[in-house]
Every structure is written in structure tokens, then in C-alpha cells.
Amino acid sequence: MSGQNSFGNRGNRDASVVNTRGMGTIDGTRRSGPVGEGRAGDPFLIGEGMTGGYGKGADILHDCTISVEKGQIAVIVGPNGAGKSTAMKAIFGMLNLRQGSVRLNGRDITALNPQDRVKAGMGFVPQVNNIFPSMTVEENLEMGAFIRNDDIRQTMQQVYDLFPAVAEKRKQAAGELSGGQRQQVAVGRALMTQPQVLMLDEPTAGVSPIVMDELFDRIIAIARGGLPVLMVEQNAQQAMNIADKAYVLVQGANAHTGTGKELMANDEVRRTFLGG
């Protein structure tokens, strides 16, 4: 979508000249703007009134607001193509916001690029391609802690304690692990920055139900430890069960907002998204 393909698909099949594996979609050359003041009474993290889309394309989000408080879990649910992941990416600075702002911990970070948002305390786990496949588990975690200059061993031990299954495989290439273990590595990598807020884009996509339950348990544990968690979920039912706050998006706009329990009780939400 982004990027200028002047030659169409020409030449991109020839492995002796081009390497399309691991290619990025985010413009890493963009520079950050200034950090502004937050507003009084803000939640810990809030993306407020966000309107925008990818590059110069049409708007995908329309006046969308998402927030999360300290120690809470907020989930974003909604039908396919509702802009759930896009809202997440907007908060992380990966698309052009035409209106709205993103504020974290009393600061306005709307003008920051994604790299600097990481430094500002945000941790993000993308839905796919969320590990470094040819690097070992340990190296994946080290890369998570790239911006830190202090001793990371303690944090690494915490991650291993949280995910004992991957601790055993710390010297193995992450790409060789099973789907569930990869997700654990991915979450672990994001935790290594010691973020102030953790954002997960469909962490349970493509993993078996047992693994999914286990992952949810871990996520709850993380949130109860004081780290606010914002996540997009496809499995609306389970997600709402654990959510302190839930957002239902439809066509890039807020349709319903409330605690998980409130929304579960809401007839319309149940009919349209929870299948009765």
C-alpha cells in the first residue's frame, strides 16, 4: 500500500538481486516533533479524537478515542476491518493523524515517531512478524532492551519467570519455536524495555485454545503487576471477560465503550459481536 512501486511487481522475484524478507512498512527516517504538555485529568494513556489513515490514503479512523488507566486492561474489539489494529498503530505513531492527539503519562506525544515513543515508555507487540526469527530467544530479549543502558539481567529473569517454556529455549533461534512460544517471546521482548504501557495487537491470533488461555493468564498477571495493557482482540468474549475497559469499534469510530461486564450485558453488542 505504502511505497512507490514504479516498476510494479517487476524484478521482485529474483532472489539474486532483491531480498524482500523482513522488509519494513514504517518510515524510519521520519523525525520526531516536540513533546507537549498533557491535560489535567487525563488517563494514563489516551489517543483522543484520532482521525487519519495510512500515508495519503483515505481516513480509516474517524474521531476515535481509546484510553487505558494504570493497572488496567483495556481491549479493543469489533468486526473485521473495523480499524482495531489501525487504532493501535495510530496510538503508536505509525500512521498520519490528521486530527486528534496521543498523550501518555501527562505528556502530549502526538508528534513523536515510533522509535521515540518506545523511549517514551510504550511497548508494542505487533500481530505478525513480532520476533527476530534468526536470532536466539535471548538475543530477541536483548534487542527488546536495546534502548536501556543499565543491567538487563533482572528484567530478563522476570520474563523467563513469567514464561518458563521459552526460558528453556533461550539459546534457540526464535524462528524455530512453536506459535504460542513465539508469542511469548514477542511479549517478553516488549517487556524488556520496561515499558509504562504494553500494547498487544491480537496476541492470541493463530494459537490453540489452551495456549490462548495461558497467554490471557499471563497478560492478567502483567496488568495486575501494575503495567497497563491495551490490546486488540479477535476473541471478543474472552477479551471482555478480562477487560477493565472495552471499546467496540465499527468502521473506524467508537461504537460502544464501557467495562467488559457492561458491554457483555449490552444487548446490541451481544447480538452483533458476541454471536447471541
**Interaction site with another protein (CB under 8 A):** 2-29, 56, 92, 114-115, 118-119, 124, 126, 129-135, 139, 142-144, 146-147, 189-190, 193
Min separation Cβ 253 and another protein, Å: 25
Min separation Cβ 269 and another protein, Å: 31
The CA-atom distances, in angstroms, between 25 and each of 22, 49, 62, 103, 182 are 10, 24, 22, 24, 21
Nearer to another protein, 184 or 254 (CB): 184
Whole-angstrom distance, CA of residue 65 vs CA of residue 54: 18
Min separation Cβ 19 and another protein, Å: 4
Half-sphere exposure of 227 (CA within 13 A, CB side): 24
Which residues 6+ apart lie within 8 Å of 72 measured at CB? Answer: 223, 228, 229, 244, 245
Strands 96-104 and 45-53: antiparallel
Nearer to another protein, 11 or 41 (CB): 11
Min separation Cβ 189 and another protein, Å: 7
Q: What radius of gyration do the chain's Cα atoms show?
A: 19
Strands 61-68 and 107-108: unpaired
Min separation Cβ 247 and another protein, Å: 22
For residue 273, give the H/E element and its range: helix 267-273
Min separation Cβ 176 and another protein, Å: 12
Nearer to another protein, 22 or 164 (CB): 22
Which residues 6+ apart lie within 8 Å of 164 measured at CB? Answer: none
Assess contact for 274 and 237: CB atoms under 8 A.
yes
The CA-atom distances, in angstroms, between 170 and each of 25, 144, 159, 222 are 29, 14, 11, 21
Nearer to another protein, 194 or 257 (CB): 194
Nearer to another protein, 134 or 251 (CB): 134
Burial-class residue 159 by CB neighbours within 10 Å (0-12, 13-18, 19+). buried
Min separation Cβ 148 and another protein, Å: 9
Nearer to another protein, 158 or 237 (CB): 158
Nearer to another protein, 44 or 92 (CB): 92
- CA distance from start to end of the chain: 36
